[in-house]
Amino acid sequence: MNPAPLALEYQPFAVFSGANTLQAAYNELADELKKYLDPEDQEKVLRCAIYGAAAHEGQKRQSGEPYFVHPIAVCRILARQRFDLPVLQAGLLHDVLEDTILKKTDMAAEFGEEVTRLVDGVSKLDRLKQKAPQAAVADSFRKMFLATADDPRVLIIKLADRLHNMQTLGSLRRDKQRRIALETLDVYAPIASRLGLFYFSIQLQDLAFSYLYPWRYAVLRKRYLERFARNETLDRVRAALQPRLQALNIKASINKRQRHLWGVYQRMERKESFEEAIRTVPIRILTDNEDNCYRILGSLHSLYRPIHGKFEDYIAAPKSNGYRSLHTSVLMPGGIVLNVQIRTRDMHTLAEAGIISVWHQYAKQRAVQIEASSIEAEKTLREWLSRLKEVQNYTDDPLQFYDTIKKEIVSGDMHVYTPKGEVIDLPRHATPVDYAYAIHTKIGNHCIGAKVNGHAYPIYKPLEMAQTVEIITSEDAHPHAGWLQFVVTAKARGAINKYLKELARSDAQALGQRLLGNALRRHGHTLDSVGKTRWQHYLQESALTRESLLTQIGQGLRQAALVATALLEGHGETVPAAQDDDTTRQLEVHSAFESGISLAQCCYPLPQEPIIGQIVPGIGIHIHRQECPLRGIDGNEEWISATWAQERKGLFPAALEIEAYEHPRLLADVSSHIADADANITDFQMNHAAHDLHRRILTVWVEVRDREHLAQLTRRLRLLEDTIQIRRVERSQNP
């Protein structure tokens, strides 16, 4: 049969014609199916609808209408886009696994594995009642996105589902309307845009806008419709351009493009007036072949003056989502600006359908040769989804996965080159670190610098289109937590988070080993002297591995003393009495930066000062001075005896506040004396004294070996001319 063309034109203010009975709803769907499906496939859709209606029998929507009206409407949205049979069937059944007693095996037996896989990908995770709403949403989003990476049609069905839910959002409470609208604007509309599905993205944006800002939407809509109804400019363009095209024997249609209100509102948010936001007149010209597109462009530029920098050729260089068109802006007499798109009708069809045009029943039945750009776009889509799927390798946290994916989705596209000329696709604002991880995780993990176009380039600075990027690496380098402040790709964020998490786990495991070793030594044992049978029995009872047990001890989730007692009590044996020798029960601190151990920021102790350790669950041990004013303020802390090791490594932080009379060389003199004392300056802050503007308060953060070293430094600084007083302050006062 000869199918009707795709029903793709977006009508932003059309009222949704949702039927309130199942029969009426299905009649609307059947009318759409007849336009492009053969009778056999129509019958299969009907059988699927009967199955779904029976499964949802008795269920109601918030509006009170039969629930199955919704799946029928979703299927109709998909049918308007001319999707093939499995997608239509999955659209009808997309809530069956989630909201009815039917199982995947039942569905697979009736409709096959392909349809069941699509439905399962769209279904939420078994309600997740035990989780907070945000965590449940993140879990279900992760499940859907991982299914999408295997079959992108899952996402198409979800977009159709979300579109109908947005079209019928009025029956929900106001708070739910806003929550769903915000999620739509933040996640689903950008996904649709990323795939080139403008039919979906524009409607989702405008519907979300109408629920988030109903008054602004109503006012803007009224003014826009009043303006859009006037066609004087379009008539002038047609009258001037059509004769020229006819003389060249070019057939073309010239029509005005509708703007979507969310786009106009965003421009007004950028401080543009309404008149400025809509001052350009959007025009679309459709023709039969590619050659005509360029000939029309030439005629248009000879008729009206082209605006410099406003021409883009997406026919010769298609966008990553397969979009092809010529874009130009021209100035008409009277100062009117025309914003013009020129494309073939097939380009227009594929532009409206986006990347997923390769799955259209329409294309299959017409035996249309899918353009090379669309095939390449599908490849790009699958590569992009595959990159996003990699994020699951770096995080087990659904909320982190959700946040990471959201950030990448909203980014635009650009490409840069390797030194060998290979193209690397990245989102806008990507940095050299993002590029390094795009090449390989090992390159990212060992990145220490970058060159762009042959010159040194900061690793935190965003790259620009078409730059050539080279990464400098070192085997001794590793990721830093600060990188998370500027990287934008899902892979980079995931890999950095994974490294930091593994590093923290490794540090906690090493600390746990030390704590348990200390606890066992109090009973005359070591980790190695505990029998293998005792270890196996305890680990089996605890459902832990030895490594995870030590990690939990290091994180403060288990007490080393209790674990030691349980290990030694294996099989009813008597535990040796604990020894009181300080060397067996004290934690030794060797440096300021040690696995699972950190110096408390409330007092920052120094070697030669009495210390004590606070076990902080989930983090490790904080070392305090014994006279720390905050020690014991909570009353529920768990403490462990600690001491400085005889052999220590590195320097330790401290801070001094120097009050002195103001003079030009104050900071230089202080810096010189600190350097002469073999100490390092890590930070400083200078302010006027509140009581005397002729005095300065200079706070200097330094690194010293121990308390005596700090005392020597203080004595040296007191020799400075104009010094009034010096006192030790805490690191926590650092800005």
Instruction: Point out the residues that are catalytic.
Output: 98-99
Instruction: Find, among 240, 241, 263, 267, the residue nearest to 252 by Cα.
Output: 241
Instruction: Find, among 134, 107, 136, 133, the residue nearest to 120 by Cα.
Output: 107
**Single-letter amino acid, residue 381:** L
The DSSP annotation for 638-675 comes to EEEEEEE-SS--S-EEEEEEEEEE--TTHHHHHHHHHH
How many other CB atoms are found less than 10 A from the CB of residue 544? 15
Question: What are the beta bridge partners of residue 641?
Answer: 612
Contact 262, 208 (CB under 8 A): yes
394-427 b/e (C-beta count within 10 Å ≥ 16 → b): bbeebbbbbebbbebbbbebbebeeeeeeebebb
Q: What is the rounded distance in angstroms from the CA atom of residue 575 to the CA atom of residue 705?
A: 41
For 339, the token pair is 């914003």
CA distances from 706 to 567, 673, 730 (A): 38, 18, 15
Length of the chain: 735
Instruction: Find, among 587, 618, 586, 622, the residue nearest to 604 by Cα.
Output: 622
Instruction: Find, among 413, 484, 384, the residue nearest to 145 by Cα.
Output: 384
Q: What is the rounded distance in angstroms from the CA atom of residue 367 to the CA atom of residue 360?
A: 11
Q: Write the burial class of residue 101 (CB in 10 Å: 0-12 exposed, 13-18 middle, 19+ buried).
A: exposed
Contact 158, 141 (CB under 8 A): no
What residues contact 333, with CB distance under 8 A and at least 6 apart? none
What residues contact 6, with CB distance under 8 A and at least 6 apart? 80, 81, 82, 349, 352, 353, 360, 362
> 254 by DSSP, 3-state: which?
strand
CA 500 to chain centre: 18
CA distances from 209 to 184, 186, 190, 223, 349 (A): 10, 12, 14, 16, 27
638-644/587-589 β-pairing: parallel
Q: Write the burial class of residue 619 (CB in 10 Å: 0-12 exposed, 13-18 middle, 19+ buried).
A: middle
> 462 by DSSP, 3-state: which?
coil
Q: What are phi and psi of 732, to 5 degrees?
A: -65, -15
Q: What is the rounded distance in angstroms from the CA atom of residue 654 to the CA atom of residue 732?
A: 10
Q: What is the rounded distance in angstroms from the CA atom of residue 136 to the CA atom of residue 142?
A: 10
Q: What is the rounded distance in angstroms from the CA atom of residue 433 to the CA atom of residue 444?
A: 6
N-to-C CA span, the chain: 74
Question: What are the beta bridge partners of residue 579?
Answer: none
Contact 537, 570 (CB under 8 A): yes
